[in-house]
Amino acid sequence: MRTRTLAQTLPLILPRMLTRALASVLLLLLVQGCAVQQWQSASIGRYRDSHSLADTLAELESQTPFNRDRPLYLLNKGLVHHLVGNYSQSNLDLEAAKVALEQVQALSVTEGLISTTLNETFNDYSATPSERVLLHTLMALNYLALNDLSSARVETLQSDLRMREIGDDNAQLASARFVAGLVFELNQEQSDAMISYRKAEQLLTRRQQAVPAALQARLLNSSRLLGLDSEHQGYLERFQSASTTLPDNYGEVLVLCFSGRVAAMQQRRISIYVPSLEHNVTISQPFYPPQLALLTASTLALGNDQVRLELLEDVDNLAREALQASQPKRIALSLARVTSKHMLVKNSRKKDPMLGLFADLVSILTEVADTRSWNLLPATMTKSPQIIEVKAGGTQLLIANSFGNITPLNY
């Protein structure tokens, strides 16, 4: 039997060793890039909790997102610009996010193949149904702040189209309907305003949520102005309101306030038995930590007055609902992916133990949950009417947030 010397053997095994080493390095870099980007997405929320909005904006602008995370990056940047009062720049970022999300809706074959083979973090961020509607609502508020009622109207129409197009319960937002009603009302389109206010009330009732006083007043006033006597009487009995009109020489200040921040998704591992493999496999899935007590009412300092705010939209709960609705599909995809990986590992071990070891390493390192979310969103949207002495028939809208920023809009 002829024995090869080391000098003869090295040229045969060295290329294979180098190929595996290079593949391992590339894999580690790929997984590391994925982990870093997810960490960036989650950490910006934690950063905002302990820093000013200006610092948060600077931190965002210092980041260079991967193309797949650009929609989320633009959403976050647009929201922070809105919160600091940079309404024009906010709309530029949100419009860019809108275009990017439209492109993402048609997933490519290559992208689907990568997520099926590795994990969902390699997909472009597509946003939840409620996030895609909130984008339009934010843009409408920006345009109202810029005194561009026409453009605000366009966004409310797009918001309505988006809600009907998606159809999902998670995309039906009372806040979007209320802002649309406000825009129509300011534009002297009372009939369309009534339709929007009515839909907002129906959504809140379906969610077993109290109808805020500001919406009650608008339902009463709109139904009275449109001569909907039967509906108006029904609201009177239900809301037990003694007055449906403003006193002479008094106007209304309507406050819309963003408070808190939605929770950040985390990752957990779940063990599931797979009959075809005859053993358990471990998959990674995103989850939200337990929800804190819901803030249904709060106050806001408005000059020397304390304005009581009532819950309009539980944005944090919308995020949880979206995740829950997507769980069956996520788990099914993860099981299919992990099962394929296990079969690959088994087949690789039969051919070459080293190849099997490498395949096993790939399987473990790439099993990561997609925890990306628009986690700079406020946890709640609240509103309240405040009656003050202003010119007859005057209406003032205030857009406020928990950072103390208050923007007055006069119409």
CATH number at residue 314: 1.25.40.10
Report the pLDDT value the prediction gives residue 35, as an integer from 0 to 100.
47
Report if residue 200 sits inside a domain.
yes
Burial of 337 (0-12, 13-18, 19+ CB in 10 A): buried
Weakest mean pLDDT among 112-116, 142-146, 165-169:
112-116
Report if residue 47 sits inside a domain.
yes
Report if residue 4 sits inside a domain.
no
Report if residue 164 sits inside a domain.
yes
Q: Give the pTM.
A: 0.82
Report if residue 2 sits inside a domain.
no
Report if residue 214 sits inside a domain.
yes
Report if residue 1 sits inside a domain.
no
Q: How many domains does the chain have?
A: 1
pLDDT in tens, 64-83: 888 889 999 999 999 999 98
* pLDDT value at 315 more than 60: yes
pLDDT in tens, 168-190: 888 999 999 999 999 999 899 99
Report if residue 172 sits inside a domain.
yes
Q: What is the extent of the structural domain holding 77?
A: 9-410
Contacts 24+ apart (CB under 8 A), 211-217: 211/239, 212/310, 212/311, 212/312, 212/382, 212/383, 212/384, 213/310, 213/384, 213/385, 214/254, 214/310, 214/383, 214/384, 214/385, 215/178, 215/312, 215/383, 216/241, 217/241, 217/244, 217/385
